[in-house]
Amino acid sequence: MALAAAHIIIAIFILDLFRHYVFGKKKFPRYLLIVGGIAGLGPDIDVILTWILNFITGNSDNLHGTFTHSFFFVSVFLVIALFFHYQKDKKWARIFYVISAGWLVHLFLDWLYGEYKFLFWPFPTPMSIFPNTGIVNYAIEIDAIILVLWLVHEEIYSKIKDYY
């Protein structure tokens, strides 16, 4: 699978672009990037759910890549966001919009890595929609590169901020 750093940092990076160029910092406070970054790892909670389930049942089932890796989950967060939106609760609406977005970025990355996931859960997902790029073989290297790029970016970015 695409590894943790890639999931978190790419979600933050994409959200950060939207923060800078679309929404502006007022509408998009910085903490939402953290929320989005964690949501970017969110679908992999099924790994932990699998441990818990097997611990309880004593079986060796595998939930990984099933319901949490689906547009269904993305939609649930979106519906919650819309609910808060219409309640005029901007703060919680934004939080759930960002969770939904971070979750979606995760699905996109897994898809890009060519990993079979139940994207349309509970319906079957055609195998043919997954690209066969072979990127997945470089998951560890990609993770390392992304992490380094991120550190460099943060360093440069905070230097730029020092001028103001």
Residues contributing to the site for Zn ion (CB under 5 A): 43-44, 110
Q: How far is the CB of 43 from Zn ion (least distance, A)?
A: 5
Say how many Å lie between the first and final Cα of the chain, rounded. Answer: 41
Q: How far is the CB of 113 from Zn ion (least distance, A)?
A: 9
Q: How far is the CB of 76 from Zn ion (least distance, A)?
A: 17
Residue 7 or 19 having the CB closest to Zn ion:
7
Instruction: Please state, in angstroms and as integers, the Cα–Cα distance from residue 115 to each residue in 6, 44, 70, 81, following that order.
Output: 15, 13, 13, 28
Q: Which of 67, 86, 84, 52 is nearest to 125 (CA)?
A: 67
Residue 129 or 151 having the CB closest to Zn ion:
129
Residue 16 or 110 having the CB closest to Zn ion:
110
Check residue 123 and report its DSSP letter. S
